[in-house]
């Protein structure tokens, strides 16, 4: 092909610049998306401001109603105290003779005020009369609160209790008490258990469209909540409401209204973004709290519908831009995908893969260069594979020769290392180990007795039972083997099998007394394989056992000497016929 033809081919191919300019049409979507985002942020801020104003109005209005409710209740108790004084009953509330009259006065007060569940007037000896359908002595919390009220009024102070839950329905209530006095001296107490049902009704009326309005005290505990089942009076509201946390941190006498913007809390196990406002009631040490999720506020204000319409418009514009961009980009993406596929194939080892020469001039050039490079890589890789295979075979051959030389020191252990390696690999296969891990186990098992090079022949070949001193010498062979192989960097990952194959899972093995998972899996596998071969071959101190007997013995040692998973894998291999006994030798089918 002459130079002019190459030049004409190059000129006919589209330049990558024009293809990129076509794809840049997608940028037209970006300003629209940014504008949409800005509008949403402004809408969100406006929505938050509106919700804050509404919550402020609600909490302040309820706070004023509750404060008026408390003031009226206080005035009613003071009026009742004055009635007792005018009728001369203040110092006779515990008199048995005047008990009917005192009870009648109290009952008239309870009957005229539906918020009073219980009323009692007691002397300074804490004895007196009571009225109302509620039995205070049957509720331990109310009884304790009345005791605290008595202690407080003894100091000529007004008492208001912490929130109480009354009855099985957990109706919110509290106790208000005023001292009875004669000549400015304490003579008793007038106390009322006050129902907050009217307050609860107002909370339910204002808790609409996802907004929740409730009351907490200065400790962050629920006073009244629309959901009386989940939020019982006295329950700590702080874990579910950061607003309650902030209220609990305020000075008790502070009168204020504050809004917490966009905090997060958990609702039904999911995080929800909220807006919350509180207004304090210093006289009661309470605060009215209003919370609302921004999702509910957005839905109520129609923001979600507006957002959906805007998103539809963005989607339409984006879809049109994508179609146009695709038509331009397909010319560049097709050859690039082909080049990427070829690159991926080469990364998988398919070095014969080539990419078609097509597309823009620059991409065609790149494809031609890539194909040339791929040919060179294929040639080099083949050479490297051949050299690696030769080196690996030489390495394994050296390992096998070393293992055979070790086994030849004792005629009874001839072929022992090779058999242990085969059994170990089979067990590893049944345990689902990777090929590279099986190769490491094979090499480690072949070398597991290399330390016997350093054991005296008189001990190694002794036909009878070893003495304690001789056995101590024999127990050194795992550590010696590891020390012999440690300078060889390529055998670093095989050292655990060499050094630790005589460790027991119960910690009674050697050389380190490791136990359980402290022993590497490689060593646990080799330990079982080593024992199986030792039991099924003739030794100076025993005749070879049959395979089933040896397996029964190994199963018995599960959990003490051997790992349960390894024994299970070995057992399955034997039952599958992968390891079988032939001519008094155990053979492995790998």
Q: What's the whole-number mean pLDDT along residues 517-524?
A: 94
Q: What's the whole-number mean pLDDT along residues 228-255?
A: 86
pLDDT above 50 (res 584): no
The reported pLDDT for the residue numbered 510 is 92
Distance CA 486, CA 472 (A): 22
The reported pLDDT for the residue numbered 3 is 46
Give the pair of three-digit tokens for residue 359: 């597309």
* Higher local confidence (pLDDT), 51 or 314: 51
3-state class of 296 per DSSP? helix
pLDDT in tens, 418-451: 889 999 999 999 999 999 999 999 989 888 888 8
How distant, in Å, are the alpha carbons of 452, 458, 502 from that of 474? 8, 11, 11
What percent of the chain stands above pLDDT 70?
71
Q: Which residues, in sequence order, are CB contacts of 127 under 8 Å at separation 6+?
A: 94
pLDDT in tens, 89-104: 888 888 888 888 988 9
pLDDT above 90 (res 273): no
CATH architecture of the domain with range 409-588: Orthogonal Bundle (1.10)
* Higher local confidence (pLDDT), 135 or 56: 56
Which of 217-221, 441-445, 451-455, 522-526 is the least confident region? Answer: 451-455
pLDDT above 80 (res 586): no
Considering the chain, what is the average pLDDT of its residues? 80
Q: What's the whole-number mean pLDDT along residues 259-278?
A: 76
Q: What's the whole-number mean pLDDT along residues 538-543?
A: 68
Q: Is the pTM of this model over 0.85?
A: no
Please report which helix (H) or strand (E) contains residue 172, including its range.
strand 171-182
Q: What's the whole-number mean pLDDT along residues 167-171?
A: 81
The reported pLDDT for the residue numbered 6 is 44
Phi, psi (degrees; rounded to nearest 5) at 228: -70, -15
Q: Which residues, in sequence order, are CB contacts of 506 under 8 Å at separation 6+?
A: 515, 559, 560, 561
* Higher local confidence (pLDDT), 82 or 20: 82
CB 207 within 8 A of CB 291: no
Domain borders along the chain are 44-300, 409-588
Q: What's the whole-number mean pLDDT along residues 206-230?
A: 88
Q: What's the whole-number mean pLDDT along residues 123-146?
A: 86
The reported pLDDT for the residue numbered 532 is 92
Exposed, middle or buried, 408 (CB in 10 Å: 0-12/13-18/19+)?
exposed
CA-CA-CA-CA torsion sign (5, 11, 13, 15): positive
Spatial strand order in the sheet of 257-267: 222-224, 211-217, 286-293, 270-281, 257-267
The reported pLDDT for the residue numbered 47 is 73
Angle, helices 416-430 vs 361-408, to 10°: value is 130
Which of 19-23, 183-187, 383-387, 495-499 is the least confident region? Answer: 19-23
| CATH number for the segment(s) 44-300 | 3.30.450.20
Angle at CA 414, nearest 5°, toward 410 and 418? 130
Which of 86-90, 218-222, 394-398 is the least confident region? Answer: 394-398
Strand partners, 195: 173
Which of 315-324, 485-494, 506-515 is the least confident region? Answer: 315-324
pLDDT in tens, 288-344: 999 888 776 665 555 556 566 666 766 776 666 656 666 666 666 666 666 666 677
Peptide bond into 511 cis (omega under 30): yes
The pairing of strands 270-281 and 185-195 is unpaired
């Amino acid at each position: 092909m002459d130079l002019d033809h190459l030049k004409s081919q190059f000129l006919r191919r589209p330049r990558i610049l024009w293809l990129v300019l076509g794809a840049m049409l997608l940028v037209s979507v970006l300003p629209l998306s940014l504008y949409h985002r800005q509008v949403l942020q402004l809408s969100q801020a406006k929505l938050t401001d509106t919700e804050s104003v509404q919550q402020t109005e609600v909490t302040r209005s309820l706070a004023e109603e509750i404060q008026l409710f408390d003031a009226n209740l206080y005035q009613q108790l003071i009026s009742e105290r004055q009635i007792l004084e005018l009728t001369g009953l203040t110092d006779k509330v515990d008199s048995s003779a005047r008990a009917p009259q005192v009870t009648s006065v109290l009952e008239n007060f309870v009957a005229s005020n539906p918020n009073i569940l219980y009323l009692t007037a007691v002397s300074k000896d804490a004895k007196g009369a009571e009225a109302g359908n509620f039995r205070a002595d049957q509720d331990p919390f109310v009884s304790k609160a009345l005791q605290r009220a008595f202690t407080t009024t003894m100091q000529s102070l007004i008492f208001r209790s912490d929130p109480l839950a009354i009855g099985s329905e957990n109706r919110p209530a509290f106790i208000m008490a005023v001292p009875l006095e004669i000549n400015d001296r304490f003579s008793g107490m007038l106390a009322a258990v006050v129902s907050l049902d009217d307050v609860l009704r107002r909370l339910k009326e204002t808790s609409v469209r996802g907004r929740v309005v409730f009351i907490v005290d200065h400790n962050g505990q629920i006073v009244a909540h629309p959901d009386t089942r989940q939020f019982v009076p006295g329950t700590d509201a702080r874990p579910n409401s950061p607003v309650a946390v902030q209220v609990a941190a305020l000075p008790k006498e502070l009168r204020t209204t504050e809004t917490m913007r966009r905090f997060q809390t958990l609702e039904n196990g999911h995080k929800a973004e909220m807006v919350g406002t509180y207004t304090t009631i210093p006289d009661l040490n309470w605060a009215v709290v209003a919370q609302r999720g921004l999702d509910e506020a957005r839905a109520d204000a129609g923001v979600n519908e507006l957002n959906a319409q805007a998103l539809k418009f963005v989607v339409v514009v984006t879809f049109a831009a994508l179609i146009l961009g695709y038509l331009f980009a397909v010319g560049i993406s097709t050859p690039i995908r082909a080049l990427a596929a070829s690159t991926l194939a080469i990364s998988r080892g398919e070095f014969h893969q080539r990419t078609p020469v097509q597309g823009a001039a620059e991409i065609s050039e790149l494809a031609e260069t890539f194909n040339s490079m791929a040919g060179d890589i294929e040639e080099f890789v083949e050479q490297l594979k051949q050299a690696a295979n030769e080196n690996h075979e030489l390495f394994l051959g050296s390992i096998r020769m070393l293992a055979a030389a070790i086994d030849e020191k004792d005629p009874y252990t001839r072929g022992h290392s090779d058999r242990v390696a085969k059994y170990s690999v089979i067990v590893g296969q049944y345990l689902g180990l990777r090929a590279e891990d099986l190769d490491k186990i094979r090499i480690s098992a072949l070398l597991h007795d290399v330390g016997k090079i350093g054991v005296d022949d008189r001990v190694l070949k002794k036909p009878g039972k070893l003495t304690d001193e001789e056995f101590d010498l024999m127990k050194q062979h795992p550590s010696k083997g590891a020390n012999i192989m440690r300078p060889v960097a390529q055998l670093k990952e095989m050292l655990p099998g060499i050094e630790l194959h005589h460790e027991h899972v119960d910690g009674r093995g050697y050389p380190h007394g490791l136990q359980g998972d402290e022993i590497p899996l490689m060593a646990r596998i080799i330990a079982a394989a080593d024992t199986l071969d030792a039991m099924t071959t003739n030794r100076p101190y025993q005749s070879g056992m049959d395979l089933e007997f040896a397996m029964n013995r190994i199963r018995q040692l599960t959990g003490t000497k051997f790992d349960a998973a390894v024994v299970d894998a070995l057992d399955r291999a034997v039952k599958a016929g992968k390891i079988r006994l032939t001519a008094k030798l155990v053979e492995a089918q790998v």
